[in-house]
Amino acid sequence: MHLRLASHFGRHSRNFLTHHLLTVVSQHIDLLEKERSRLPIIIMRLTEIATLPGHEDAAWGVSFNPQRNLLASCGTDRTIRLYTYTTSSGSPEFQFHTSVPTGHRRTIRAIDWHPTGSTLASASFDSTVCLWEDEDAEGQWECVTTLEGHENECKSVGFSSDGALIASCSRDRSVWVWEVGEELECIAVMMDHSADVKAVAWHPVEEKLKPSAAKKEIPTLLADMRSEVERNEDELEVPPLQEPETVWCLAWSPDGKYLASGGDGGGIRIWRRKPGTSGLSSEFEETLHVGAHAGPVYAIDFLAPTDAMKSAAKDGSVALLASTGGDGRIIVWNASNEDEAECEDVPRLRLEPVAVVRDAHGVSDVNSLKWNKKEGQEGVLASCADDGSVKVWKFEV
């Protein structure tokens, strides 16, 4: 009820309700840490397993290779750092592998692996996106393509689930989409935002792209992939989807039924497709807003739960959601369906915090986190922070 009212009240009332929500979740997390046995959920743990040689300045992004035992990070020092890991013991053992001097002229803000694990994309404040491959016999990483077009800082980059497309967004309020091939071709440039675009997130099954922007909006971009001959900007549509705060991050649930967004008010919102809408006419509605962090939510990431995780969660588990932000906390949430919603095609979700780490990187803001989704490594989480540090965690039932 508070959440419904918040969307209609003025700034003062909305801020009061947001503060109330943050207070409630903070109290819940305090209980989680201090009175574990009394909570009506089974508590799990997030344990630090590695602190890695980080960056000389702020670290902005981390990403696990989906096929190889590699973790990548990027930062203000304009380098990409690669870490390898072995899995012979119970927990993976990480070590620094190499630093890639990228040649980017400014901060590298985001990185993302191609689904095959062969290519790494980096988005920089110098307005370019570079694609990296280790093609030579010595394993040296080389920039094989530089994508240009943005007029200002690139904020995010991402490959589509099948690797056929790559998208980037920028402070110039645009989203660019390229078709991946021997020669990358720009197939769409969208200028539908009224402020800088901070993140892009591809749908895990369909070729749908979600960007997030500052100043109260998350437009939905839908790419129609039915035509193999011709794709153009007309095939990308922007249905209305409003968010009353700056949006820093986005993540799709593993089944693609839900979208999570993190904002500067410290809350996490869950969206689902409206009944009766599909394809290019899809519309999304907010179904949940929980206070999460005492500061902006900078990163969120979903993970499909293992059987052990499902059985440990009292009410079952649709997915796990990790979040972090300006308060330095890392929180893992269990996402489950509401009991009364079995009849709905896409039931509403509820979120319960099941693990929390305070001051995960000391006093620093935590800027990024990512689950390792490689088979057999589920539950391993990487994070990076303003102090340049990169850490790895293990989520344990």
* pLDDT tens-place string over residues 43-73: 689 999 999 999 999 999 999 999 999 999 9
pLDDT at res. 221: 38
Long-range contacts of 11-18 (CB under 8 A, 24+ apart): 14/244, 18/265, 18/266, 18/267, 18/291
**CA gap 313, 361 in Å, rounded:** 27
**CATH number of the domain encompassing residue 185:** 2.130.10.10
Confidence category of residue 331, pLDDT binned at 50, 70, 90: very high
Q: How many CA atoms lie within 13 A of 245 on its CB side?
A: 22
pLDDT at res. 208: 60
**CA gap 313, 234 in Å, rounded:** 44
Does residue 215 sit within a domain? no
Does residue 284 sit within a domain? yes
Mean pLDDT of the 218-232 span? 32
State what percent of residues in the chain have pLDDT above 90: 52
Q: Which two tokens stand for residue 102?
A: 């990228």
Does residue 2 sit within a domain? no
- Cβ–Cβ < 8 Å for 189, 233: yes
pLDDT at res. 9: 26
Q: How many CA atoms lie within 13 A of 67 on its CB side?
A: 9
Rounded (5°) CA angle 74-253-175: 55
Mean pLDDT of the 28-41 span? 45
Confidence category of residue 234, pLDDT binned at 50, 70, 90: very low
Does residue 323 sit within a domain? yes
User: Per-residue pLDDT tens for 355-379?
Assistant: 999 999 998 899 999 999 998 898 9
Residue 353 has pLDDT above 90, yes or no: yes
Burial class (CB in 10 A: 0-12, 13-18, 19+), 179: middle
- Cβ–Cβ < 8 Å for 270, 297: no
Q: Which domain holds residue 151?
A: 40-207+220-225+239-396
Residue 153 has pLDDT above 70, yes or no: yes
Confidence category of residue 343, pLDDT binned at 50, 70, 90: low
Does residue 258 sit within a domain? yes
- Cβ–Cβ < 8 Å for 29, 356: yes
pLDDT at res. 242: 47
- Cβ–Cβ < 8 Å for 177, 236: yes
DSSP string, 266-295: SEEEEEEEPTT--GGG--EEEEEEEE--SS
More confident residue, 237 or 206: 206
Q: Which of 393, 380, 256, 206 is nearest to 306 (CA)?
A: 380
- Cβ–Cβ < 8 Å for 332, 46: yes
Does residue 252 sit within a domain? yes
Domains contained in the chain, number: 1
Q: What is the mean pLDDT of the chain?
A: 80
Does residue 18 sit within a domain? no
Confidence category of residue 317, pLDDT binned at 50, 70, 90: confident
Mean pLDDT of the 300-317 span? 83
Q: Which two tokens stand for residue 121?
A: 């994309």
Does residue 81 sit within a domain? yes
Of 264-278, 294-308, 355-369, least confident by mean pLDDT is 264-278
pTM of the model: 0.82
**CA gap 49, 365 in Å, rounded:** 20
Confidence category of residue 315, pLDDT binned at 50, 70, 90: low
**CA gap 368, 46 in Å, rounded:** 16
pLDDT at res. 140: 83
